[in-house]
Amino acid sequence: MTSEFDVTGAEVAAELLTRAVTPRQLIVTVYGLYSRRQGGWLSVAALIALLAGLGIDAQAVRSAVHRLKRRGVLDATRQDGAAGYELSEEGLTILREGDERIFRRTRATLADGWLLAVFSVPESERNKRHQLRSQLTRLGFGTVSAGVWIAPAQLYDATAAVLRHLGLTSYADLLRCDYLAFGDLSGKVRRWWDFAQLEPLYEDFLADHGPVLARLGSTSPTAGPEAFADYVRALTDWRRLPYLDPGLPAELLPADWVGIRAADLFFALHDALEAPAREHVATMLGLTER
């Protein structure tokens, strides 16, 4: 069985950079937002009904959940005779780590310092080296050199948890540090992270979801189904971006950095849409909102 964690660096980059949103990504968003309130389980019928509101047909839903089961994110179970899927322990781990990253409103500061991941993996275990690099990419690290990767120090807990989970702790050392000299740190940061790669992704997010916020400001409160569709699409598009830009200190970013504007848009949408979307899901699942 292949875990969601067990992907190559190329696969990580491709998934983070792709513009197309897949039914699998939408289902992961729905599970992350709503299933944990119900013990981690959703019936197939509920998934099909919810995803229909996003324009995904029943066959695509069934195919996507089967792939998520094969990757170890979902387990097939029945409750009260109904077929469905619940989050696996692996799936819960993925979502818990994602919660902290995706919904963090504050950026790192220079006073927080930096987290260095220093590693040297023997050639005889190059698969471990490959896996380690893949996970550091997924966590949002920049590359100082081949065996030295860097991230804001606030990513320590998430990084340590992932390395422990995957049994990679013997291959890496984590160090908290400050940048002292020599050179312009802003320039260094722009070499360690690919800002040219990030900018068009943020611009796309603003172009795709800015009109939603404009519509919310000019009409009566959004109906539940529409709020659900808008919120799930926005969150699915947003959740890859904090992995490419791990909350770098604002003073090191280009002036009027588009990533800050995109974050402001996402959290404005979150504040406006989360409650009506949640109420819609509760209605769809036949539950009383608590």
> Which CATH number is 159's domain given?
3.30.70.240
Residue 188 is assigned to a structural domain of this protein: no
Question: What is the C-alpha to C-alpha distance for residues 267 and 272, in angstroms, rounded to an integer?
Answer: 9
Give the residue carrying structure tokens 């013990």. Answer: 39
> Which CATH number is 86's domain given?
1.10.10.10
Mean residue pLDDT across the chain: 88
pTM for this predicted structure = 0.85
Helix (H) or strand (E) holding 77: strand 74-79
Given a contact cutoff of 8 angstroms between Cβ atoms, the answer to whether 87 and 40 are in contact is: yes
Question: What is the C-alpha to C-alpha distance for residues 84 and 276, in angstroms, rounded to an integer?
Answer: 25
Residue 4 is assigned to a structural domain of this protein: no
pLDDT at residue 3 is higher than 50: no
Given a contact cutoff of 8 angstroms between Cβ atoms, the answer to whether 40 and 88 are in contact is: no
Question: What is the C-alpha to C-alpha distance for residues 254 and 182, in angstroms, rounded to an integer?
Answer: 20
Residue 79 is assigned to a structural domain of this protein: yes
Residue 290 is assigned to a structural domain of this protein: no
Where is the domain boundary, 152, 177, 202? 177
136 and 173 part of one domain: yes
| Mean pLDDT, range 174-199, rounded to an integer | 93
Both tokens of 128, joined, read 């471990």
Question: What is the C-alpha to C-alpha distance for residues 262 and 269, in angstroms, rounded to an integer?
Answer: 11
Range of the domain at 262: 193-284
| Mean pLDDT, range 247-259, rounded to an integer | 91
220 and 247 part of one domain: yes
164 and 233 part of one domain: no
Sequence letter at residue 163: L
Helix axes 44-52, 58-70, angle to 10 degrees: 120
149 and 206 part of one domain: no
225 and 276 part of one domain: yes
Both tokens of 281, joined, read 């899901």
Question: What is the C-alpha to C-alpha distance for residues 102 and 245, in angstroms, rounded to an integer?
Answer: 11
60 and 133 part of one domain: no
207 and 274 part of one domain: yes
DSSP bridge partners of 142? 150
Residue 200 is assigned to a structural domain of this protein: yes
Residue 154 is assigned to a structural domain of this protein: yes
pLDDT > 70 in the chain, percent: 90
pLDDT in tens, 143-162: 999 899 999 999 999 899 88
Number of domains the chain contains = 3
Q: What is the DSSP string of 149-180?
A: EEEEGGGHHHHHHHHHHTT-GGGEEEEEE---
In this predicted structure, what is the pLDDT of residue 84? Answer: 94
Please choose, from the candidates 118, 131, 73, the residue with its C-alpha nearest in 3D space to the C-alpha of residue 98: 73
What's the DSSP call for residue 22?
A: P
Task: Count CB neighbours of 91 within 10 A.
Answer: 26
Question: What is the C-alpha to C-alpha distance for residues 41 and 76, in angstroms, rounded to an integer?
Answer: 9
Given a contact cutoff of 8 angstroms between Cβ atoms, the answer to whether 132 and 119 are in contact is: yes
Q: How many helices (H) and strands (E) does the chain have?
A: 12, 7
For residues 99 and 290, the model is more confident at 99
Given a contact cutoff of 8 angstroms between Cβ atoms, the answer to whether 63 and 204 are in contact is: no
279 and 221 part of one domain: yes
Residue 62 is assigned to a structural domain of this protein: yes
Residue 121 is assigned to a structural domain of this protein: yes
Cα-based angle 13, 15, 17 (whole degrees, multiple of 5): 65
pLDDT in tens, 65-99: 999 999 999 999 999 889 999 999 988 888 888 88
- Strand arrangement of the beta sheet that strand 148-152 belongs to: 142-145, 148-152, 114-119, 172-177
147 and 89 part of one domain: no
Task: Count CB neighbours of 12 within 10 A.
Answer: 18
